[in-house]
Amino acid sequence: MKNVLRLAEHRQQNSSKSACFIEHHDFNSVYQPILSPTHQKLVGYEALIRVKRGNQNIPPTELFEQASIQGVTTDLDRHLLNLHLDNFGLKTSPVWLFININPDTLFHHADYLGQLADQCRQVGLHPERIVLELVETATRDTNTLLEFVQEARDYGFQIAIDDFGMGDSNFERLWRINPLIVKIDRSLLANAEKHQRARLLLHSLVRMIRESGSLVLLEGIENDAQARIALDTEADLVQGFLFARPKQSSRECTATAENVLKQIMSKSEQSNLMGYRSQETFLKLLRFEMMEACHQLVRGESFDKVCRTLLEIEGVKRCFLLNSEGVQQGSVAHRGPLSGEYFNPLYHSSGARWSHREYFRNALERPQKINSCRPYVALPDARRTVTLSTSLSSANGQTIFCVDIHPDDVLDGQLLFPPIL
């Protein structure tokens, strides 16, 4: 009996402490639009908090740090969630409401989700319209995280993983959670704007997540360049200051964000059209010169002479010949002298067998076609490479003619090769 009384007293003291903490702050809900480029319309809002203590603005991170020190994080989280639900101004609109769940809540969620579901229904929002954002790296206790996710789904809530790609983000844990939406940490997009390699990694990450069965949301889009990168990745959803800053949700805010998205999509389509024309011109030149080289090889002209014009084309680095078994015949014809290259014993590859490579198989499967392989890291220089290949028949038997290209050196790294030129 004494233990029960102590527990009740502890809960009462903690509740009083939470109420005092909340009363000393002024909270205001703001909402940032989330849009679908495919549909060119707004599909959701993320609820965010703005806090003042007296006349001073308090960063949300500082607020939760203080709440954690005082042991009132869970009560504060409940208060903010209820506030976001009450203040949401588009309860009848067919959009999602994204709500962040504080990591501490995962460990103290007894009756939490049931109360949240009741609150949703009271304000006229079905739980299916609520997307609970969880930080996937917030806990190493995967079982607790999975229990929370399953209980949330039982009530009808949708699940999103926030800030994926930072810290110790874990693909195995991501697949076990199986969220509806994965939000990519904004730092990956910022890096992709500055570095080509980061851009390629972002493309691969988006593709991998989508293929695993989740939608991808790229957030933190602040300028046209970042928007173009986001659209090029084929991310399902986008969010950022470029479309709208967090404010009160309203139909006017929805219309404004949608208009901005349509303008950006229009600019992107025009840029893509110009890029397509530039690529088409480059690929036509490349195809013509490669066909001309093939004719010269069949006529028996010297390999170095045949490759001379090809190697003058931007991005073309190497030419080499394989026999019908994939064994390299002779040395590589390369662009420029090797004296400035770092030491690499893999460069001198006469006699090497390349039958396991995609470009060799392409040439055998599609003879007399100029085939392109998927980008890979080539052994001679550890650079991203696309190899064009074609099969030739002559008096000496079947020969595979190969041309290595560094795609990042052409058209600002935006060149896309079709399977057949």
Residues 289 and 242 in one domain: no
CA distance 159 to 135: 11
* Domain co-membership, 183 together with 289: no
Same domain, 295 and 244: no
pLDDT at 168: 63
Q: How high is the pLDDT of residue 137? A: 60
Is there a domain that residue 269 lies in?
Answer: no
Domain ranges, residue 316:
285-413
Inside any domain, residue 339 = yes
The CATH number for 376's domain is 3.30.450.20
Residue 387 φ/ψ, nearest 5 degrees: -110, 125
* CA distances in angstroms from 64 to 58, 76, 181, 208, 279, listed in the order given: 10, 8, 25, 33, 51
Among the candidates 248, 269, 304, a domain finishes at 248
Residue 265 CB coordination number (10 Å): 15
Spatial separation of the C-alpha atoms in residues 271 and 265, rounded to whole Å: 10
Helix (H) or strand (E) holding 42: strand 41-53
Query: What is the pLDDT at residue 21?
Result: 80
| Number of other residues whose CB lies within 10 A of the CB of residue 161 | 25
Q: Are residues 172 and 229 in the same domain?
A: yes
Is pTM, for the whole model, over 0.85?
A: no
Both 382 and 242 in one domain: the answer is: no
How many domains does the chain contain in total? 2
Tell me, yes or no, whether 167 and 291 share the same domain.
no
Residues composing the chain: 421
Supply the DSSP string of 133-189, one letter for each residue: EEETTS-S-HHHHHHHHHHHHHHT-EEEEEEETSTT--HHHHHHH--SEEEEPHHHH
Q: Are residues 239 and 357 in the same domain?
A: no
Q: Collect the ranges in the chain with pLDDT lower than 70.
A: 1-15, 107-110, 136-140, 167-169, 273, 275, 336-350, 395-396
Burial class (CB within 10 angstroms; exposed 0-12, middle 13-18, buried 19+) of 266: exposed
3-state secondary structure of 365: helix
The two three-digit tokens of residue 377, written as one number: 């890291």
Give a yes or no: residue 104 inside a domain.
yes
Task: Assess if residue 421 is contained within a domain.
Answer: no
In this structure, the answer to whether residues 237 and 292 fall within a common structural domain is no
Q: Are residues 233 and 133 in the same domain?
A: yes
Residue 4 inside a domain? The answer is no
Does residue 267 lie in a domain region? no
**Phi and psi (nearest 5°) for 244?**
-175, 145
Name residues whose C-beta falls within 8 Å of residue 118's C-beta, 6 or more positions apart in sequence: none
Judgement on whether residues 316 and 239 belong to the same structural domain of the protein: no
* Whether residue 166 sits in one domain with residue 74: yes
Q: What does the DSSP assignment read for 265-329? A: HHHHHHHHHHHHHHHHHHHHHHHHHHHHHHHHHHTT--HHHHHHTGGGSTTEEEEEEEETTSBEE
Of the residues 222, 248, 274, which one is the last residue of a structural domain?
Answer: 248
Nearest to 90 by CA among 260, 255, 243: 255
Say what the pLDDT of residue 189 is. 94
Q: Which helix (H) or strand (E) holds 116?
A: helix 112-122
CA-derived radius of gyration, the chain: 29
In a domain, 240, yes or no: yes
Q: 244 and 351 share a domain? A: no
* Chain segment 282-303, per-residue pLDDT in tens: 889 889 999 999 899 888 888 8
Alpha-carbon distance values, 313 to 174, 376, 378, 404, 407 (Å)? 44, 20, 19, 11, 12
CATH number at residue 94: 3.20.20.450
Q: Is residue 73 part of a domain?
A: yes
Of 341, 338, 322, 330, nearest in space to 304 by CA: 330
Listed residues 248, 275, 302: the one ending a domain:
248
Torsion of CA 261, 262, 264, 267, to 10 degrees: 170
What is the per-residue pLDDT for 272?
Answer: 72
By the 8 A CB rule, do 148 and 161 touch?
no
Helices (H), 233-250: none
